[in-house]
Amino acid sequence: MIKKAVLPVAGLGTRFLPASKATPKEMLPIIDKPLVQYAVEEAVNAGINEIIFIINPEKNSIKKHFNMNEEIESKLINSGKTDIAKKLNPEIFTNVTFYYVNQEEQNGLGDAILHAESIVNNEDFAVLLPDDLFISKKSCLSQLIDIYNKKKSSVIAVNKIDRKNIHKYGVIQSSNITDNIINIEDIVEKPSAEDAPSDVAACGRYILSSTIFNHLKSVTRDKNNEVQLTDAIKSLISDEKVLACLYKGEKFDCGSKEGFVHATIALALRDESISEDIKKIIQEII
Ligand code: G1P
């Protein structure tokens, strides 16, 4: 059973300056919900009950966001606004434990995950990168958990990427990329388009064996002196099977402005309370 999830949220979010100067980029909303909450809901709905945020001291509003606010809740309930109270303190978070671990220096995604080691404590666990927003009938993490439950091995979500963008991702190599479940033979972090072993890339959701921590500790740092998760997965493959799951559904890269706006428009058009008005607005603009 996968019960723990690590969410690295310590990054500076420079692409979203000035918005991310005083507000963590993970707290920027897609319509009315902060980006990070989509990932937390995905995790909790997939059965996770311990969320480990790797955070930095500047990002306290994330902590505040996931704390129950009983004072405002009772004010809302007393004034008959029960529906709004549910949005304030979502019921699905009632039995979830939130942990916050500070990452003092930005030493890469692998280093961020290493900060969760003592809380993860020898259990296989999930990693969710909140910049990647997934919308699908069965969530991306649930698709991974289904495979993990059957195969009991690490499994990472992947999707096909345009070659022109492949240099932004961890790219897998496999002799059989036609199946939904792929046996990863190798993985390379951010290769050039010419060197990429395929057009299939890691897309922000992982189930990892706890042995990954040993690999995170032993891998060589990259040219920017960062510990890369991809390099630790590459090293894990020499000891254990690591699978990839071709994700079925939509994905929005909310770490980029285009992806963020794309997600906002797509979700607005699906929100019954505003979709008709938004359609008209878009038609007028066009
Ligand atoms: C990270 C990982 C990369 C992965 C990507 C998915 O990169 O290092 O392997 O493909 O997330 O979004 P980042 O987006 O942090 O540069």
pLDDT in tens, 46-64: 999 999 999 999 899 999 9
What is the Å distance from ligand 1's center to 282 Cα?
A: 32
- Ligand 1 in reach of 133 Cβ (< 6 A): no
- Yes or no: say if 16 and 28 are a contact pair by the CB < 8 Å rule: yes
Backbone φ and ψ of 10, nearest 5°: -90, -10
Here the tokens at position 80 are 């008959």
Rounded to the nearest integer, the mean pLDDT of the chain is 94
What is the Å distance from ligand 1's center to 192 Cα?
A: 14
Mean predicted confidence (pLDDT) in 20-33? 95
- Ligand 1 in reach of 111 Cβ (< 6 A): no
Tell me what pLDDT residue 54 has: 97
- Yes or no: say if 237 and 219 are a contact pair by the CB < 8 Å rule: no
pLDDT in tens, 163-192: 999 999 999 999 887 778 999 999 999 999
Which of 12, 26, 109 should be mutated for ligand 1, with most atoms under 8 A from CB?
109
pLDDT in tens, 203-220: 999 999 999 999 999 999
pTM: 0.95
Tell me what pLDDT residue 174 has: 92
Here the tokens at position 239 are 């000891």
CATH of 4-255, one of 3.90.550.10, 3.40.50.620, 2.40.10.10, 1.20.1250.20: 3.90.550.10
Beta strands in 132-174 (DSSP E): 132-135, 154-160, 170-173
